[in-house]
Structure 1
Amino acid sequence: MSEVIYNSETGVNHHQYRKHKIFEVNEKEENKVIDRKDAKLVMAHMYVAIVCLIIGGLAGLVQTLVRSGTLKLPAGIGYYQILTVHGIILALVLTTFFIMGFQISAISRTTGPLSGLSRRLGWIGFWVMLIGTAMAATMVLLNKATVLYTFYAPLQAHVIFYIGMALVIVGSWISAAGQMMGYFRWRKEHPGQKTPLISYMATINNVMWIVCSIGVALTVLLQMIPWSLGLVDRIDVTLSRTLFWYFGHALVYFWLLPAYMSWYAVVPKIIGTKAFSDNLARFAFMLFLFFSIPVGIHHQLVEPGIDVTWKYVQVVLTFMVVIPSLMTAFSLFATFETYGRKTGAKGLLGWLKTLPWNDARFVLPFIGMAAFIPGGAGGLVNASAQMDQVVHNTIWITGHFHLTVATAVILTFFGTMYWLIPHCTGRVLTKQLNKLALIQGYMWAIGMSIMSGAMHFIGLFGAPRRSTYSEYGGSKVAAEWIPYQIIQAVGGTILFISIILVVIIFIRLAFFAPKGHEPYPIATAMDEHLPTTKLVENWKFLIIVTIALILIAYTIPVSQMFIDPPPGAKGFGEGKLW
């Protein structure tokens, strides 16, 4: 048995680990590494993710400069073309590649090396996603797919774009199937035992992803591709948007749940303590599976063609997601406080001082947790039928996304990357790189606070999202917005500098950092010895409840789009998709 010491090269281990000896771990488990073949597969995903970060980050910087009036795009490049690159490459491609890579590593670390078939599925999924990404990106760069991040009708793209996006989805399904095979293989080999928490979480996220992405796959395959090929003259726009948002809101939780995986199962280990509750974490993830999908219509509260009763039902279901989110917040801060009390912290918030503020692997995810507090509050505003009327289609929504996915999620991904990359490459996070990572994290927090804060504020006064504001000419309203666009550009510039630091750290950790062992931190829980809460791993129950909630939320509103069109609508009520 040994004390919890992670890496003597980094200098980030706290004296209180040794002084207080909060808990001990098995040294063999502490030094466990993922299989080298699995590590190569993980790194392939990370290389694509970092390239996406560079391209998407540059597009984001250009957007803020154009909106502020300080940059005019050259060579006929369009603002909305840049906006499409930024949204799709970061929100859809970077996240999917990182999440698949991280989950592969988690499955390999906790359930054992991937089987030959699982690994082959991982590589097939990777290449299918990469080919699809290249196809879609080519069309966007050629300005033949300037359809924004949401890419739904009435905007139309080249058919190659839609085929490419479909391949990204299909590739992720293949990869997810390989991961789930590892999880269910472990269950079969260890009957009656509690499955590793992080592998359970990854499987929940994969199941949710497969179920929700069926919606976007249907609209792409049955509507967009025939339409873009000229096989049909028109498509049902309301149905298309509904199928997209059936996928689109669950997509938010596809981003969030891997961050939650890190918060629940990795961060406690990094700070040197046990997670608050294994069972609470599993129960929260079960609720996320139930309530993250049948809620997409709350993005369509101002749209015609959907009965207000069903909008209300989905608003209620949306607010149900608050429950597992609050459970997560309670669990995390209970973990931190328990750790602090054991190290001698006094007073209401004295435990905060005991946390490892010199360890980037903790600090970046913690900033993400803190950002999710106002981000979650903004989500409640967006989901409220009345308050949504104030902020709908304003740049407030953009600011909200940048607090959630672009801060809470992405900073957690960065913090994860700073131990995952060296673990996979056989290198270590040095003192110098740790300090640089801390600077990167704080710069991100400052830049995002400036940019997102300006977006939220100006959004309350009606400033539209996805706009250069040039159409407002020299109006008084447009003039009042200009200072806030400049503030956004300042924040965006700081964020881009932070991205440059991420790239530098990534390259160093992948190729140049000293050789050594960087542990893959997996926490145990205070209730590890207790049996799993009933039903949370009963997959028949989980799937039945998930499908039942989806049918309740969507059967009638979707059927009404075929048989009861809104007054004056054309192309509806004809009993077909277009």
Structure 2
Amino acid sequence: MMKVMKGIHSADAKLTMAHMYVAFFALLIGATAGLMQTLVRSGKVTLPAGIGYYQILTLHGVVLGLVLTTFFILGFLVATQSKTAGKYSSGERKWAWAGFWMMTAGVVTTATFILLNEASVLYTFYAPLKAHPGFYIGLALVIIGSWFVGFVIFHRHARWRKENRGERTPLLSYMAVITMLMWQIATLGVAATVLLQFLPWSLGFTETIDVLVSRTLFWYFGHPLVYFWLLPAYMAWYAIIPKIVGGKIFSDSLARLSFILLLLFSIPVGFHHQLTEPGIDPFWKYLQVVLTFLVVIPSLMTAFSLFATFEARGRELGAKGLFGWLKKMPWKDVRFLAPFIGMVWFIPGGAGGIINASNQMNQVVHNTIWVTGHFHLTAATSVILTFFGIAYWLIPSMTGRKLTAKMNKWGIIQTIVWSVGMAIMSGAMHWQGLLGGPRRSAYSEYAGNADTASWGAYQIAQAIGGSILFIGMIIMLVIFVNLAFFAPKGKEEFPIAVVGETSGTTPKVLENWKLWIGVTVALILFAYTIPFIDIIQNAPPGSKGFRLW
């Protein structure tokens, strides 16, 4: 049986909430920038005060894709590990706070130069677009600060193992370690390109930059970033949702194995974002496409585990038939409803991901707004709705307040509003992408295979969907403020499920960190070493930026 601590230390709760305050402020800024984007693309709105479209596009991508997600995830991991493995030591907490303040300083620095229009380089900041050095310095601070928090999570897990020799580690602490391992390893790529390429280049120390190397290092990070977003959602799906529905975790072993496989298959696959780029041997692209598709295995394992839990609980409550359990789920509990709808949205989101990763089908949608629609289904719907579902119980449990029936009702409304807005906006993006609509473009008049009237309708649909999403964001922020400051005092449940009696014994090999980290490193070296050497050896003449390497 999984051990669950009775409470969470108040100092750890404060650390969690500090991350949440930054995360939800980022939601306000990023969602506002997103609304402005969709209005501009409709052709009916012009930005005021000389604000540039690519300025708000950069702000939207960086603040939501990096700031909101990273701060929320770290706060969530700190809370779940403190709850299941026990409170942090004062030393661990000091290092975590140091990381938090470093990240916050980095966010302020980066956002400042974006707002000054000195860093309108988009979320991917591809060369040869060049930003002010402060933009890159801010990004580096965010990454390094997150490493501090990650090492604290590693240390707390190791300390638990030392204090409880021979026992199975808490599942959520184990999952937190896998999540941060993926982040630490993946961010080595973006840290390398920022510190060794972009920063010297922007400071004028070098005259040129090798574009292919920078893109390769970015996507070495960029693909596992998606799974860094998803893994905390999987944590909630595996270990928290079963408790909310009144059930138990289907299999501890299956949960741990799926996280191990996600770690192995998510990092060495960045080339599938570079299928149209010259300079990379087709064999290595093919290899990484194969590795990309292997991630379907742990995803299907997760779906099987979740629906097995739902069906088992449904049958306990008297459900019959294949889908009888649907009638027995707590649909009026937003803690369940929001993550469950996130799971449902992941089905079309995952299907779109298969298309993006396929060499042939990717040619149809590459660099079209289809890809933007796909990101909004996965990150901005599956992940974010699950994060919102977590927030409904996490925030009041950290602040000593209660999720009231009124806030629960507003949460259900928020979930519906968000889903409707995303269905309209993302649906229009997918259709427009299939017709050739370009990505990252504010004023393109190219209508692809559509007539002008239809093209304008897609743009307006995106604006309507974006406006509905903005309303959903306002509702969520009102709920957050209420749960953090104004809800009635009380004790909100921190729902963590126990493992079912039929789960079986968890193999010790799943906690052999030397083995799994070694396999991960071996896969990365196998997938990247030879093609990376080839990229460097065949760098264009005059790539002075390479002298740094």
TM-score by length of 1: 0.92
- Structure 1 letter corresponding to 2:22: V
- One-letter code aligned to 2:48: P
Counterpart of 2:174 in structure 1 is 200
> What are the Cα deviations for residues 465-510 of structure 1, in whole angstroms up to 9, with x where unaligned?
1112345499975553110010111111111101000010001100
Quick one: which amino acid aligns to residue 175 of structure 1?
V
1:22 is aligned to: none
The count of aligned residue pairs is 549
**Distance change in 2, residues 1:346/1:555 (3 Å):** same
Given the alignment, which residue of 523, 531, 545 partners 1:549? 523
Superposed CA deviations along residues 428-474 of structure 1, whole A, max 9, x for unmatched, are 00000000000000111111111111111111111011112345499
User: Could you tell me how far apart the structure 2 residues matched to 1:440 and 1:408 are?
Assistant: 14
**Cα distance in 1 between the residues matched to 2:186 and 2:343:** 25
CA distance change for structure 1 residues 370 and 240 in 2, over 3 Å: closer, same or farther? Answer: same
* Match in the other structure for 2:316: 342
* Cα 1:346/1:161, change in 2 over 3 Å: same
Q: Counterpart of 2:352?
A: 378
1-side partners of 2:502 and 2:526: how far apart? Answer: 36
Q: Confirm whether residue 398 of structure 1 aligns to residue 380 of structure 2.
A: no
Shift of 1:80: 0.6
Task: Determine which of 172, 189, 208 is the counterpart of 1:234.
Answer: 208
CA contact (8 A) 2:333 2:408 kept: yes
Q: Note the alpha carbon deviations across 1:32-61, whole angstroms, 9 max, x for none.
A: 221000000000000001100000000011
In structure 2, C-alpha distance between the alignment counterparts of 1:275 and 1:492, rounded to whole Å: 37
Q: Is the 8 A contact 1:561 1:572 kept in 2?
A: no
How many angstroms apart in 2 are the aligned matches of 1:207 and 1:532? 21
Moved more, 357-366 or 480-489: 480-489
> Given the alignment, which residue of 104, 118, 132 partners 1:130?
104
Q: 2:278 aligns with which of 284, 300, 304?
A: 304
Question: What is the aligned partner in structure 1 of residue 60 from structure 2?
Answer: 86
Give the CA deviation at 1:570.
4.0
Q: Which residue of 1 is the match for residue 42 of structure 2?
A: 68
- In the TM superposition, 1:145-544 aligns within 5 A as 145-472=119-446, 478-527=452-501, 530-544=504-518
- 1:526 deviates by 1.5
Deviation at residue 530 of structure 1 after TM alignment: 3.5
Which of these residues, 24, 35, 57, is aligned with residue 50 of structure 1?
Answer: 24
User: Displacement, 1:527?
Assistant: 4.9
Distance in 2 between the 1:553 and 1:577 partners?
A: 23
Cα distance in 2 for partners of 1:535, 1:394 equals 44
Q: Rate the CA distance shift 1:510–1:110 in 2: closer, same or farther, 3 A.
A: same
Q: Look up the equivalent residue of 2:224 and give its one-letter code.
A: A
The superposition leaves residues 205-241 of structure 1 with CA deviations (integer Å, 9 ceiling, x where unpaired) of 1111100100000000000000000110101100000
Structure 2 residue aligned with 1:18? none
Provide closer, same or farther for how the CA distance between residues 555 and 473 of structure 1 changes in structure 2, counting only shifts above 3 A: closer
Q: Cα deviation per residue 1:89-137 (whole Å; 9 max; x = unaligned)?
A: 0000110000000000011000100111111111001000000000000
Distance 1:527 1:460 in 2: 49
Q: In the superposition, relative to structure 1, how do residues 284 and 573 fare at CA in structure 2: closer, same or farther (>3 Å)?
A: farther
Residue 535 of structure 1 aligns to a residue in which SS? helix
Q: State the SS of the aligned residue for 2:140.
A: helix
Aligned 8 A contact 1:421 1:510 in 2: yes
Task: Say which SS state the counterpart of residue 319 (structure 1) adopts.
Answer: helix
CA contact (8 A) 1:236 1:577 kept: no
- TM-aligned CA distance change 1:577 to 1:243, over 3 Å: farther
Shift of 1:142: 0.2
Within 1, Cα distance between the matches of 2:389 and 2:448?
Answer: 44
Measure, in 1, the Cα distance between the counterparts of 2:135 and 2:524.
29
Alpha-carbon contact 2:422-2:465 (below 8 Å) kept: yes
Q: Deviations over 1:400-435 (max 9, x none)?
A: 000000000000000000100000000000000000
Contact map agreement 1:238 1:561 (CA 8 A) in 2? yes
Shift of 1:349: 0.8
Change (3 A) 1:474 1:375: closer
Q: Structure 2 CA distance, aligned partners of 1:78 and 1:102?
A: 35
Q: Which runs of 5+ in 2 are unaligned?
A: none
Secondary structure at the residue paired with 2:180? helix
CA contact (8 A) 2:335 2:392 kept: yes
Alignment partners' CA distance in 2, 1:543 and 1:515: 44
Q: Displacement of 1:535 after TM fit?
A: 1.9
Partner of residue 117, structure 1: 91
Task: Using the TM superposition, give the Cα deviation of residue 577 of structure 1 relative to its aligned residue in structure 2, in angstroms.
Answer: 5.1
Are residues 76 and 37 of structure 1, via their aligned partners in 2, closer, same or farther at CA, if it must alter by over 3 Å?
same
What do residues 14-48 of structure 1 show as CA deviations (whole Å, max 9, x unaligned)? xxxxxxxxxxx99x958x22100000000000000
Distance 2:176 2:502 in 1: 19
8 Å CA contact 2:374, 2:426 repeated in 1: yes
* SS, match of residue 435 in structure 2: coil
Using the size of structure 2 for normalisation, the TM-score is: 0.97
Tell whether the 8 Å contact from 2:101 to 2:145 is kept in structure 1 after alignment: yes
Secondary structure at the aligned position of 1:280 is classed as helix
Structure 1: 5+ residue runs without aligned partners? 1-24
Identity %, equivalent residues: 63
Q: Are the equivalent residues in 2 in contact too, given 1:50–1:503 (CA < 8 A)?
A: yes
